[in-house]
């Protein structure tokens, strides 16, 4: 998949910006706060209907503007040209259009235009709380399997309803009918079991992609391992009924504590993706450098997995990932970016012009360089083969 051009209006630092990208490596430079990461954020919006920087769309609105609008022209194996437009108006929300036709649901966009972001924030993926790794799982699986996203959205709805009932039951023990709580619990078990089973099977399959990503980054001395910790010890070949029974039993054992606390204490929303290097838990024992490289490896593995599972090769967004990396790691990543059979199109940001010039020398392939300052984008240099 390729992004041919991007237009931003009233988005962050950009009042009106239009950029024509190259088909391979796009290097984007500029001072901090100039608006270069905004370009990557806009691409992410057009691919997944949301930012990778904030959960609040209003924060992306240019100060004083009444709306923001994004438009991208894509091409790929399934469509020779696809124009995606996203409009956000405070109080009205977002609307997305495919070739002028509105999408009924924002979730319909997910998976159509696969994308992967690598950024310094990826260290939170390895060193942060469990919810960071659950978000990683959910984002990846939602792009790979549309049915997973629908189950996830319905599960969250059932979880909200059950939590509201438990909170009400905590305050007013006689006010909630047991049958109502049981019905939402069964809905939670049905949907949650499908999520758990998909995650179990995914983690078993994903391990090979993580190992491949580590090798491609030159990490042959370390052995990565991932484990999925859920409601009970379960094997990937378990059937759905067995998962549901384990989930149901776990909720039964936690029933009194849930009533005391007024919330659901077990399920996919509480599970953990355990990461290990040479047998040691990454979150507790890894060095800062290991956290950074492990985060990059996980995102690269995500890219490799989506490329293998989807018809379209994902766009790869790299936000300031080279700053602080040694030359060897930089070279390994650039070697990956050069191979069109592996990575079709990438977008790389950096605040350092000297680093961009070094990347230009190291890349040795078709690329374009852009310079962003005060929300204005100019082509700095390019090589086209």
| Residue 186, number of CB atoms within 10 A of its CB | 13
Q: Which of 79-88, 179-188, 362-371, 372-381 has the lowest mean pLDDT?
A: 362-371
Residue of 219 and 18 predicted with greater confidence: 18
Tokens 């992410």 belong to residue:
44
Residue 38: the pLDDT is: 97
Are 237 and 351 in contact, with CB atoms under 8 Å apart?
A: no
- Residue 213 belongs to what domain range? 121-309
pLDDT one-digit tens code per residue, 215-233: 888 877 788 999 999 999 9
Position 293 pLDDT exceeds 90: no
| Residue 378, number of CB atoms within 10 A of its CB | 11
> Do residues 292 and 330 share a domain?
no
> Do residues 72 and 133 share a domain?
no
Distance CA 94, CA 106 (A): 8
Average pLDDT over residues 56-83: 94
Are 212 and 304 in contact, with CB atoms under 8 Å apart?
A: yes
> Do residues 303 and 198 share a domain?
yes
Residue 344: the pLDDT is: 80
Name, in order, each residue with C-beta under 8 angstroms of 180's C-beta and a sequence gap of 6 or more: 165
pLDDT one-digit tens code per residue, 268-289: 999 999 999 999 999 999 988 8
Q: Which of 133-137, 169-173, 353-357 has the lowest mean pLDDT?
A: 353-357
Q: Could you tell me the sign of the dihedral formed by the alpha carbons of 250, 255, 256, 259, in that order?
A: positive
> Do residues 301 and 327 share a domain?
no
Average pLDDT over residues 195-216: 95
> Do residues 191 and 85 share a domain?
no
> Do residues 134 and 275 share a domain?
yes
pLDDT one-digit tens code per residue, 100-110: 999 999 999 99
Q: Which of 52-56, 209-213, 242-246, 357-361 has the lowest mean pLDDT?
A: 357-361
Task: Decide which of 309, 339, 359 is a domain's last residue.
Answer: 309
65: CATH: 3.40.50.300
Q: Which of 56-65, 164-173, 236-245 has the lowest mean pLDDT?
A: 164-173
Total structural domains within the chain: 2
Task: Decide which of 309, 334, 363 is a domain's last residue.
Answer: 309
Residue 363: the pLDDT is: 59
Q: How many CA atoms within 13 Å lie on the side-chain side of 55?
A: 1
> Do residues 268 and 383 share a domain?
no
Residue 3: the pLDDT is: 97
> Do residues 302 and 319 share a domain?
no
The burial of 367, by beta-carbon neighbours within 10 Å (0-12 exposed, 13-18 middle, 19 or more buried), is given as: buried
The burial of 226, by beta-carbon neighbours within 10 Å (0-12 exposed, 13-18 middle, 19 or more buried), is given as: buried
> Do residues 143 and 208 share a domain?
yes
pLDDT one-digit tens code per residue, 207-218: 999 999 998 888
Are 46 and 113 in contact, with CB atoms under 8 Å apart?
A: yes
267: CATH: 1.20.1050.90
Residue 383: the pLDDT is: 55
Are 211 and 219 in contact, with CB atoms under 8 Å apart?
A: no
Distance CA 154, CA 169 (A): 23
Q: Which of 195, 197, 193 is CA-nearest to residue 236?
A: 197
Position 361 pLDDT exceeds 90: no
Distance CA 169, CA 132 (A): 30
Residue 302: the pLDDT is: 97
What residues are designated binding site for ATP? Answer: 30-37
Position 323 pLDDT exceeds 80: no
What residues are designated binding site? Answer: 30-37
Q: What is the pLDDT confidence band of residue 365, given thresholds at 50, 70 and 90?
A: low
Task: Decide which of 309, 344, 363 is a domain's last residue.
Answer: 309
> Do residues 210 and 262 share a domain?
yes
> Do residues 339 and 367 share a domain?
yes
Distance CA 188, CA 194 (A): 10
> Do residues 182 and 57 share a domain?
no
């Amino acid at each position: 998949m390729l992004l041919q051009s991007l237009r931003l209006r009233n988005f962050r630092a950009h009042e009106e910006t239009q950029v024509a990208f190259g088909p391979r490596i796009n290097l984007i430079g500029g001072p901090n706060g100039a608006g270069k990461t905004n370009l990557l954020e806009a691409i992410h919006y057009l691919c997944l209907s949301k930012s990778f920087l904030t959960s609040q769309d209003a924060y992306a609105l240019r100060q004083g503007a009444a709306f923001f609008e994004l438009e991208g022209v894509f091409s790929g194996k399934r469509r020779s040209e696809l124009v995606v437009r996203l409009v956000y108006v405070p109080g009205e929300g977002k609307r997305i259009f495919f070739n002028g036709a509105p999408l009924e649901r924002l979730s319909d966009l997910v998976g159509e235009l696969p994308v992967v972001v690598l950024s310094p924030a990826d260290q939170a993926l390895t060193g942060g709380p469990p919810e960071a790794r659950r978000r990683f799982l959910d984002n990846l699986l939602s792009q790979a399997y549309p049915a997973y996203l629908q189950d996830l959205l319905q599960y969250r709805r059932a979880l909200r309803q059950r939590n509201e009932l438990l909170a009400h039951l905590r305050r007013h023990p006689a006010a909630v009918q047991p049958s109502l709580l049981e019905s939402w619990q069964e809905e939670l078990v049905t949907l949650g079991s499908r999520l758990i089973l998909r995650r179990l099977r995914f983690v078993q399959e994903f391990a090979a992609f993580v190992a491949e990503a580590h090798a491609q980054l030159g990490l042959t001395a370390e052995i990565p391992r991932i484990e999925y910790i859920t409601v009970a010890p379960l094997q990937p070949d378990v059937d759905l009924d067995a998962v549901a029974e384990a989930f149901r039993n776990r909720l039964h054992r936690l029933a009194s504590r849930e009533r005391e606390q007024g919330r659901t204490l077990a399920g996919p929303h509480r599970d953990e993706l355990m990461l290990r290097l040479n047998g040691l838990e990454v979150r507790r024992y890894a060095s800062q450098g290991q956290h950074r490289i492990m985060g990059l490896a996980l995102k690269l593995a995500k890219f490799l997995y989506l490329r293998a599972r989807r018809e379209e090769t994902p766009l790869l967004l790299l936000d300031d990932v080279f700053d602080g990396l040694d030359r060897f790691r930089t070279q390994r990543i650039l070697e990956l970016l050069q191979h069109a059979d592996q990575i079709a199109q990438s977008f790389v940001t950096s605040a350092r012009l000297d680093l961009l010039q070094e990347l230009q020398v190291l890349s040795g392939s078709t690329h374009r360089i852009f310079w962003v300052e005060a929300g204005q984008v100019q082509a700095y240099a390019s090589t086209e083969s």
